[in-house]
C-alpha cells in the first residue's frame, strides 16, 4: 500500500491505534510463519539431496576433516 507523506508523518508522530497495531501483529505473525515453513521446506529438500549423494562418493574423495592443533595452550 502507498500512503501519502502527511499520513505517514501523522502515524510517526501519533503511533498506531489498537486496531492497527493488532493488524500489524497479525501480519508479522503470518510473515514469520511463512518464513519458518520456507526454511523447513528448504531444509528438507537439501537434506534429502545430500543423503542421496552419499552413496555416490568416489573412492578418492576425502572424508575426514583436517584437525589443526591449537597453539593457545
Which single residue is written with the C-alpha cell 510473515? 31
Residue 33 confidence (pLDDT): 95
- What residue spans define the domains of the chain? 16-54
The pLDDT score that the predictor gives to residue 12 is 81
48: pLDDT strictly greater than 90? no
Supply the pLDDT for residue 2: 83
What's the maximum distance between 2 C-alpha atoms anywhere in the chain?
Answer: 68
pLDDT the model gives residue 16: 84
Kindly indicate the confidence band of residue 36, based on its pLDDT and cuts at 50, 70 and 90.
Answer: very high
- The CA radius of gyration of the chain, in Å to the nearest whole number, is 25
Provide the pLDDT for residue 52: 53
Amino acid at each position: 500500500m502507498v500512503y501519502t507523506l502527511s499520513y505517514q508523518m501523522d502515524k510517526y508522530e501519533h503511533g498506531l491505534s489498537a486496531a492497527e497495531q493488532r493488524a500489524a501483529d497479525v501480519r508479522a505473525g503470518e510473515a514469520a510463519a511463512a518464513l519458518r515453513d520456507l526454511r523447513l521446506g528448504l531444509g528438507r529438500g537439501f537434506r534429502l539431496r545430500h543423503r542421496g549423494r552419499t552413496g555416490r562418493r568416489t573412492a578418492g574423495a576425502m572424508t575426514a576433516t583436517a584437525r589443526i592443533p591449537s597453539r593457545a595452550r
